[in-house]
Every structure is written in C-alpha cells, then in structure tokens.
Amino acid sequence: MRTPVRPTAVIVLAAGAGTRMKSSLPKILHPLAGTSLIGHALNTARAIEPDHLVAVVRHEREEVARHISEHDADVVLADQDDIPGTGRAVECGLAALPEEALAGTVVVTYGDVPLLTPALLSDLVFEHEGKGSAVTVLSAEVQDPTGYGRVLRQGDEVVGIVEHKDADESQRAVREINSGIYAFDAAVLTRALQQVSTENAQGEKYLTDVLAIAHREGGRVSAVVAEDRWQVEGANDRVQLQALGVELNRRVVEAAMRAGTTVVDPASTWIEPTVTLEQDTTILPGTQLHGATHVAAGAAIGPDTTLTDVTVGQGAKVIRTHGAGAVIGAGSSVGPFTYLRPGTVLGEAGKIGAFYETKNVRIGDRSKLSHLGYAGDAEIGEDSNIGCGNITANYDGVDKHRTVIGDHVRTSSNTVFVAPVELGDGAYTGAGAVVRQDVPHGALAITAAQQRNLEGWVERRRPGSEAAQAAERAARASAEQSENTEGAGEHRNG
Ligand code: UD1
Ligand code: CA
C-alpha cells in the first residue's frame, strides 16, 4: 500500500444558488441517503485529512453556514464577495487560510458532488504530487458533454479548459469534460488567480483559466480521468438528485450483500451508508435502514420496515415495523405493525407484537407485550406477560409519569396502568383493571364493579329495534326448546 498524501487544504465550493432545484431549501442542504449534499462533500474532504478544510459560502449564507458548522465544527467558512465565478470562490477560500497554508497542494471540490470517494480524491492528490504537476484536473469521458468545460490537450499534455459557452465548434466536439475537481500547487494557484479576468461569455472569474496560465508559465498540467462517472456527477436538479440517490443505494446494498447480508429485493431496499450490518443478516423487501442502525448476525428485518438509529440484536426478527431510537435484544421479535419510538429497550428473547406503540420503556428479558397496546415511560421486569390491550396512562394532561412493573407479572386483557404506579414481582391484574394504586408482590388487582344484568332492558327501552327483535327470537326459541325437552321427557316417563 502506498502512503497516503495529505493536502494542505481542501476548498469546497458552496456559494452557488442552485436555482434548478426549485426549492426554498438551499441545494446543498438537500439530503441524499440521510446526509446533506454538502455533508457528503465535507465527509469526503475530511477523510483525506487536509490540514485545513474550507467551505466557500454566499447564497443563503446563514442557513448554510450553520448547517456546515453543525456537521463539522472545524470547517473554516469563507465568504465569497460580489465577484462571481469559481475562480473568485477559490480566491476567497484561499484568503481564509493562514499564510503558511499557501504552499503545498490545495484541492478544490464542489459541495454538490455527493458520490465522490476519498479513494478517488486521494488518487488525484497522489498523481498530482507524484508527477510534480502545477495543476491536475479530474476529468471524465462522457457521451454528452453539453454544458461542461472541455479539457483541451496537445498530445498527452493538458493545455487548458474552455467553458461550453466560450467554446468553438471543434472544442465542443471534445468529450473529455472538466469535473470541477482539481489538485493545485498552492503558489501557482494564488499567482494565476491574480491574472484571471471576468472577460468571458458569463462575465465570471473562471477557475478553469488557471490551467492555461499554469501551462503558459511552463508548469505541468495533467488530468486524471475518472473511470467511474458517478463520482464526478453533480446534483443540479431533483432528477439528478434522485438518480444519484438510487446509485448510491445500489452501491451500499451491493456492498452489504458482498459482506454477507441477504437482500431479497435490492430495488425496494434502502440502506444508508451509515448503517452497519453483521454477517448472515436478512433484509426483506420494502425495508429502509437509516442513520446509526446496527443489525447483528442472524437477524431478519422486514418486509416493509423502517428503522432509524435502531440496534437489532442477534437473531432478532423485526416485521412490518416503524422504529426509531430503539434497542431490540437478541432473539426477540417485533411486529407486525409495531411502532417503536425513542427510548424503547427490549431485552433478549422478548416480544413486542402487533399494533403496539412503545416509547421510553425498558423491557426485561423474556417479557412479552404481544398485542394491541401502548407502553410509555415504563419499566417492565423479566419474564412478565403484559396482556392484550394494556395501556400505560402516562400523561395526566400536564406531566408524564412512570409505570414500574416487576418480574413474572401477568396482566389480564385491557389493564390500564394509571401512572405513577408500581406492580410488584409476581403480581396479577384482572381483565379490564384500572390500576390506580400500587399492587404488592403476588397480589391480584381487580377493579371491576359487580356485573348487573337488567333483564328485558332492550325490549323495553329499544322496542322494535333489530336488537330487540333478535332478543325476542332468541327468547321464543329457547322457550320452545325447553317445552320440547319437557314433552319428550314426559313421554319417556309415561
Ligand atoms: C463548472 C466549471 C466547468 C465544469 C463544471 C462541472 C468553471 C468556470 N466551470 O461549470 O468547467 O465542467 O463546473 O460541473 O469553473 N460556485 C461558487 N461560487 C461561484 C460560482 C460557483 O461557489 O461564484 C460553486 C457552485 O456552488 C458549485 C460549483 O462552484 O458547487 C460549480 O458552479 P457551477 O455554476 O455549477 O459551474 P458550472 O458553470 O457548471
Ligand atoms: Ca454545475
């Protein structure tokens, strides 16, 4: 392996307006696979370990600057002034650097090229420094070069870049395009930018003019041709953003499969690059895994499951579930139709079943909340069975309160825990119990009032109704039946 080369600085250009996105959200803040476009650019830049990382901002300055600083607090923010163009942007970026940083290699990238990898960027720096070049541009061969700057060569040597709008017929025929990503010798860059004017079709100070100037000065100007076109592709509108998102996902899903995850349907599976999956995991169709989600060996997720920052233990099963900020213990099962909210911690070999919502609840090993209910702000011990339709009434309209349930507890259907309340180890509840007071160890809590049946109430109070008619028919049928039974008995006896 070669020794990685660390540039003095990476300058990420992020001052443009991105109007084709047609959005009130600045383009570079649009998310792709859970990270903003500028976030991807900064991650890649940071990964090659520059001494300084600069982002040049202007459009929606405050919002963009805040986002950048939240993403990476060590990024130096540089403001572009009224002079437009990529050359001016870089000049403003250089001005934000300390004097001693204006030597060595300076890399320039864009804030809207999210698939660029640290490997390709460090290849660029390696080639640049290895050849002792003044400038090395990352280029690509494309079918349709319309709109891009074209790389101009004399033999193998790069002599300049011409913008599409300034190019003549023969220059427009060139299919090697400028990606906008470069490695520069800092001294050459600083000097050349002073000579760049805004006399061109767009009235901008072009960074691309630096190449011709460096060549004229006698410096070597080279190109690294990116074979992987996606890595130099920018997201200018929502169509390109979507295509880049699909491609990034395809790469992440393929990497997961190569590392030992079975993905039944890659096209309907979305896995963010930040997700980690152990070997022998299975992802069923319609599943989306976001953020810091981790899936341990042998676990199966899906179908139709969305997990954000969820830790899934070994061999667990998570079916048709929407979860965030939760921990699912080894060997446990969740779903179908389950909503896990932040702070849910399910122990090992437990269960949260169909139509359950949970929030801020710790559930001990082997405990089960099998069907229909809500558990919030609660603690449940080990080996407890929470009956069907149980609900923690955790909110009194003003404050939230806790429900604490011990080990080996059995609660019957439709128990309501009116928090704050505690149930000791081995406690039981009766069906429909509304538990307002603590239940001691081993006690059965019953709150149901004695049942009273008001005979004939429906026929008196709902005369002629379908229910009354059904009741009458049933009454007649049972009267006839008892008559017949009596008759038969008489006959036999007589
Ligand atoms: C630029 C290149 C072109 C290349 C293309 C690749 C120049 C003159 N042209 O063209 O050769 O093929 O990128 O996509 O460099 N930006 C600023 N400040 C500015 C202008 C732009 O920060 O004043 C930033 C933008 O936010 C964007 C990047 O620079 O991230 C590129 O700007 P854009 O206007 O898209 O450049 P192009 O005209 O496409
Ligand atoms: Ca562009």
262-445 matches 9-232 in CATH topology: no
Write the pLDDT tens digit of every residue in 77-110. 999 999 999 999 999 999 999 998 889 999 999 9
30, 235 contact by CB (below 8 A): yes
Q: Give the architecture (CATH level 2) of 262-445.
A: 3 Solenoid (2.160)
pLDDT at 379 over 90: yes
Mean pLDDT of 291-320: 98
Write the pLDDT tens digit of every residue in 129-145. 999 999 999 999 999 99
Mean pLDDT of 411-424: 97
How far apart (Å, rounded) are the C-alpha atoms in residues 13 and 203? 18
> E-assigned strands of 220-325?
221-225, 261-263, 270-271, 276-277, 281-283, 288-290, 294-295, 300-301, 306-308, 311-312, 317-318, 321-324
pLDDT at 1 over 50: no
Residue numbers annotated as active site = 371
The residue to mutate among 37, 79, 86, 206, having the most atoms of ligand 1 within 8 angstroms of its beta carbon, is 86
Query: Tell me, what's the pLDDT at 295?
Result: 98
Indicate which residue's Cα is closest to atom 35 of ligand 1. Answer: 16
Query: Tell me, what's the pLDDT at 489?
Result: 52
Distance 220 CA to ligand 1 centre (A): 23
162, 178 contact by CB (below 8 A): no
Phi and psi, residue 20, nearest 5°: -70, -10
Query: Tell me, what's the pLDDT at 449?
Result: 84
493 or 232: which carries more pLDDT confidence?
Answer: 232
CATH fold of 9-232 reads Spore Coat Polysaccharide Biosynthesis Protein SpsA; Chain A (3.90.550)
Q: What percent of the chain is modeled with pLDDT above 70?
A: 97
Ligand nearest to the CA of 240: 2
pLDDT at 492 over 80: no
- What residue ranges line ligand 1, CB within 6 angstroms? 13-16, 56, 80, 84-86, 88-89, 110-112, 148-149, 161, 163, 177-180, 206-208, 234
Query: Tell me, what's the pLDDT at 493?
Result: 46
Least confident range of 96-100, 225-229, 277-281? 96-100
How far apart (Å, rounded) are the C-alpha atoms in residues 382 and 391? 18
Query: Tell me, what's the pLDDT at 100?
Result: 86
Distance 454 CA to ligand 1 centre (A): 83
Write the pLDDT tens digit of every residue in 47-68. 999 999 999 999 999 999 999 9
HSE (side-chain half, CA atoms, 13 Å) at 19: 0
The ligand 1 atom nearest the CA atom of 18: 26
Least confident range of 28-42, 241-255, 477-491? 477-491
Distance 51 CA to ligand 1 centre (A): 24
Query: Tell me, what's the pLDDT at 154?
Result: 94
The ligand 1 atom nearest the CA atom of 14: 26
pLDDT at 494 over 50: no
Per-residue confidence band for 155, with pLDDT thresholds at 50, 70 and 90: confident
Place of tokens 């004229």: 216
Mean pLDDT of 408-434: 97
* 3-class SS of residue 310: coil
User: What's the pTM?
Assistant: 0.91
Indicate which residue's Cα is closest to atom 16 of ligand 1. Answer: 16
Write the pLDDT tens digit of every residue in 250-271. 999 999 999 999 999 999 999 9
Name the residue ranges covered by the structural domains of the chain. 9-232, 262-445, 457-493
Per-residue confidence band for 485, with pLDDT thresholds at 50, 70 and 90: confident
Query: Tell me, what's the pLDDT at 488?
Result: 58
Query: Tell me, what's the pLDDT at 491?
Result: 52
Ligand nearest to the CA of 108: 1
pLDDT at 239 over 70: yes
Query: Tell me, what's the pLDDT at 478?
Result: 94
Distance 164 CA to ligand 2 centre (A): 12
Query: Tell me, what's the pLDDT at 244?
Result: 98
Output the DSSP codes for 326-349.
Answer: -EE-TT-EE-SSEEEPTTEEE-TT
Structure tokens at 385: 């069975």
Distance 236 CA to ligand 2 centre (A): 6
Write the pLDDT tens digit of every residue in 207-222. 999 999 999 999 999 9
HSE (side-chain half, CA atoms, 13 Å) at 92: 22
Query: How many angstroms from the chain centroid is the CA of residue 309?
Result: 8
Query: Tell me, what's the pLDDT at 308?
Result: 98
Write the pLDDT tens digit of every residue in 313-364. 999 999 999 999 999 999 999 999 999 999 999 999 999 999 999 999 999 9
